[in-house]
A and B are shown apart, each in its own frame.
Chain A
Amino acid sequence: MPAAVRAFDVAKRYPLGAAVTYRTLREALRDAVTWPARRLRGERAPGPTSIWALDGVSFEIQTGEVVGIIGRNGAGKSTLLKILSRITAPTRGGIDLHGRVGALLEVGTGFHPELTGRENVFLAGAVLGMKRTEIRARFDEIVAFSEMERFLDTQVKHYSSGMFMRLAFAVAAHLEPEILLVDEVLAVGDASFQRKCLAKMEDVGQAGRTVLFVSHNMPAVTRLCPRTILLDGGRVLKDGPSHEVVSAYLSSGLGTMAAREWPDPARAPGNEIARLLAVRVRDHQAQVSAAHDIRRPVTIEIEYLVRAAGHRLVPNLHVFTGEGSHAFVTSDAADFGHRRVPEPGRWRAAVTIPGNFLSEGTYVIGAALSTMDPVAVHFWERDAVAFQVIDSAEGDTARGDYGGPMPGVVRPLLPWSNERLG
């Protein structure tokens, strides 16, 4: 059976700067007119300063493989997906695809706000490559998945963003191409919606289809994809089993995984009551760091903007393992008695996880700000930051002298007693 995807030496050059993209007609005409003269003077075609978004990427993906693609922003992940989905052409190299390709590069592509939910299901389905008969056959399934039965005949412009996402993802999730390309669509929506999306992705993978999954969601990548390709600077830096590639990525400092900042409060996660500004992981010397000695405490801080007074706000952090299981949730329990109501302004909350507590491996932090009683979540950033815990095995950790694999989410150094009884 041929490889589902075979990419060889794929490269993509983008011209740099707005001057080239929004060249005016006048400049283009002037260039066209003067070009023969300049050509005679031995001038080469005007080479605008450009960047190689991809530069010699090669890989093969077998039919049925589910592969994650990771890398920091600008590594070339999205460009690769755009070439794979034929939205843009490579500058060099090529890709052979065996199978129908479906691409989910954005939730809600093809939706039109003036049309009703029902109409949009058909329209978006067609835009994503479904035949009308296919959409009709799956219509009920799509609607049931979206849980939007009651609003089907409402114009989409009256939907909340959550409702919109739900319906849009439902359509996209019912695409059945042989090769599915997914870009970061799971980063949107609330937690229960994300869980649903991840479950759907899992189904797709198990149905024997080939999936390429671009994401910053490291737990999701490690859980859903047995194999991961790490891109950096437009090249393949590492390609192999996900847990290895993901931890190499996290510990290499390539990803700015230990700190995330949202400089523009208007676009930061949150609502009219509060917004998330930053999440940082610091070591015992208060340095932002993604790699931590198992013996040392790790401090996680969360910076947020309180926009409206009068709400009791409780910052809380969710700690996930690299495999995606929820290790624990922590919030300022001592505050529960005080019912502190913060004034508007910038706030910082921090919590320290003691040394000799977490196990070795990757941890991903979800940051949230909630109000209790009644419960409301003001922001919830599932994969805010991530860090590695490293056991250097120097004999003074819970490992002792043991060098082999040691399972468990936590690895506390506990006081043991061991006495002779007779």
Chain B
Amino acid sequence: MSAPPAAPLVRIRPESAGFVARLSELLEQRELLLFLAWRDVQVRYRQTALGVAWAVLQPLLSMLAFSVFFGGLARIPSDGLPYPLFAYCGLLPWQLFAFALTSSAASLTANERLVTKVYFPRLVLPLASVLAGLVDCAIAFVLLLPIMAFYGVRPGPALLALPLLLLLALVSAVAVGLGLGALNVRYRDVRHALPFLTQLWLFVTPIAYPASLVPERWRPLLGLNPMAGVVEGFRWALLGLPQPPGALLAVSAVVAVLGLLLALLYFLRVERGFADVI
């Protein structure tokens, strides 16, 4: 065995290391992050009859239901777009958000054995479950293309903004997921509140209806829900709407980033006690 390189010094103290030190530790552990995300993807559809088709079926069936009841019977407007396309385009980022939120909020308690038996930056767990959600999103995205072709809708140059919008959806999901995940370690109330919360959140997000239903001057308020900005942004970027949802999107972005910061600070503050209370 070769001589070990200059042995690093680890100081274990009652107070935790600084914010920056811990984020850089997370960066060092990116391999573990990817492994855990890979595990979640591998495991999700094992022993299911339909397998990965679920990733497409969920938004597709939601789209059908929305189109029949909201678009068809309730005649909810859709900014002049074919309603199914309008709904699917909103459901895409929503499914990503809802999945990432639910799985990251549960990630710490679901991996209790890891938390109590191994050391690693705990941030890895909720982040890995968000990453795993991206795979489903990518699969569901593939179905969007034939739907768009069917309706003869083609995206404009705004398509270039899509990665940023995707990032915004992820930032929003991570913010809520980190906060709720950390809370869930101590208060299992979160587990009960979560399905209800996501359902409520779905209604306040302009997925089945367009943001334009809200009077123009109140519309930026809708952006306080970061997913409103994401969904409207997705439609603008993908479906070639003329007007970008400017103010709405800006408010959403600010809220999401602030939310992420707050959630991160809370998470890092309570992280060290996870093994004691989980």
- How far, in whole Å, are A55 and B98 apart by their CA atoms in the complex? 45
Partner of B187, one of A28, A87, A105, A126: A28
Complex contact B119–A86 (CB within 8 A): yes
Known: A21-B277, A97-B12. A127 touches B187 (CB 8 A): no
Quick check: which of B41-49, B158-166, B233-241 contacts chain A, the rest being far away? B41-49
In the complex, which range does the number of interface residues on chain B fall in? 35 or more
Inside 8 A of B189's CB, which chain A residues have their CB?
A: 24-26
A91 to B14, CA, bound (A): 5
Q: Are A92 and B12 closer than 8 Å at their CB atoms?
A: no
A178 contacts B4, C-beta separation under 8 Å: yes
Render B43-81 as a binary contact track against A, CB cut-off 8 A, 1 for contact.
Answer: 100110000000000000000000000000000000000
Interface string of A74-101 (1 = CB under 8 A from B): 0000000011111111111111111111
Residues of A within 8 Å of B114, CB to CB, are 109-110, 127
| Contact call B117/A83, Cβ cutoff below 8 A | no
The reply to whether the CB of A132 lies closer than 8 angstroms to some CB of chain B is yes
Cα of A383 to Cα of B186 in the assembled complex, Å: 38
Flag if A115 contacts B276 (CB, 8 Å): no
A96-B11, A112-B43 known; A123+B118 contact, CB < 8 A? no
The stretch of B31-39, B141-149, B217-225, B248-256 that contacts the partner chain? B31-39
User: Contact between A89 and B273 (Cβ–Cβ < 8 Å)?
Assistant: yes
Task: Please tell me if the beta carbons of B12 and A86 are within 8 angstroms of each other in the complex.
Answer: yes
Q: How far is A82 from B118 in the complex, measured between Cα atoms in Å?
A: 9
Given A123-B39, A131-B31, is A88 in contact with B275 using a C-beta cutoff of 8 Å?
A: yes
Knowing A88-B275, A89-B272, A123-B39, the reply to whether A109 touches B11 (Cβ < 8 A) is no
Asked if A416 CB lies within 8 Å of chain B CBs, one says no
| Residue B9 CB within 8 A of the other chain | yes
The interface residues of chain A lying within 8 Å CB-to-CB of B266 are none
Question: Which residues of the other chain, B, contact A131 by a CB distance below 8 angstroms?
Answer: 31
- Is B8 interfacial (CB 8 A cutoff)? yes
Bound-state Cα–Cα, A296 to B16, Å: 57
How many Å from the CB of A142 to the closest CB on chain B? 16
A98: nearest residue on chain B (CB-CB)?
B7
Q: Which residues of B contact A26 (CB under 8 A)?
A: 189
* CB of A14 closer than 8 Å to a CB of B: yes
Interface flags, A335-369, vs B, CB<8A=1, else 0 = 00000000000000000000000000000000000
Judge whether B151 is part of the interface by a CB distance below 8 angstroms: no
Q: How far is the CA of A126 from the CA of B119 in the complex (A)?
A: 12
Give chain A's interface residue range (CB within 8 Å of chain B).
35 or more
- Residues of chain A within 8 A (CB-CB) of B14 are 89-94
User: Measured between alpha carbons, how far is A22 from B187 in the docked complex, in Å?
Assistant: 7
Least CB distance from A269 to B in Å reads 23
**CB proximity of A159 to chain B, nearest CB, Å:** 16
Question: How many angstroms between the C-alpha atoms of A100 and B9 in the bound complex?
Answer: 8
A87 lies within 8 A of B275 (CB): yes
B1 CB within 8 Å of chain A:
yes
Cβ of A208 within 8 Å of any chain B Cβ, yes or no, is yes
Alpha-carbon separation in the docked complex, A127 to B118 (Å): 7
Identify which of B31, B118, B277 contacts A87 (C-beta below 8 A). Answer: B118
Chain B residues within 8 Å of A127, by CB: 32, 35, 114, 118, 120
Query: Which B residues between 128 and 163 are near A, CB-CB below 8 angstroms?
Result: none
List residues of chain B with CB within 8 A of the CB of A21. Answer: 186, 276-277
Q: Chain B residues near A123 (CB, 8 Å)?
A: 35-36, 39
Q: Is the CB of A90 within 8 A of B272?
A: no
**What 0/1 readout, one digit per residue, does chain B (6-23) give for beta carbons within 8 Å of chain A?**
011111111010000000
Q: How far is the CA of A105 from the CA of B119 in the complex (A)?
A: 11
Q: What chain B residues lie within 8 Å of A128 (beta carbons)?
A: 118
Taking CB as reference atom, which chain A residue is nearest B44? A114
A39-62 vs B, CB cutoff 8 Å, 1 = contact: the mask equals: 000000000000000000000000
Contact between chains at B32 and A96 (CB < 8 Å): no
B8 touching A95, Cβ below 8 Å: no
Residues of B within 8 A of A85 (CB): 118-119
Known: A14-B276, A91-B14. 12 other contacts (CB 8 A): A24-B189, A82-B275, A90-B13, A94-B11, A94-B14, A96-B12, A105-B117, A114-B43, A114-B46, A115-B39, A119-B39, A126-B36
**Can you give 22 A-B contacts (C-beta < 8 A)?**
A25-B187, A26-B189, A83-B12, A87-B115, A87-B116, A89-B13, A94-B11, A94-B12, A96-B9, A97-B10, A100-B4, A106-B113, A114-B43, A115-B39, A115-B42, A123-B39, A126-B35, A127-B35, A129-B120, A176-B1, A178-B7, A208-B1
**3 nearest interchain CB pairs?**
A126-B35, A86-B119, A97-B10
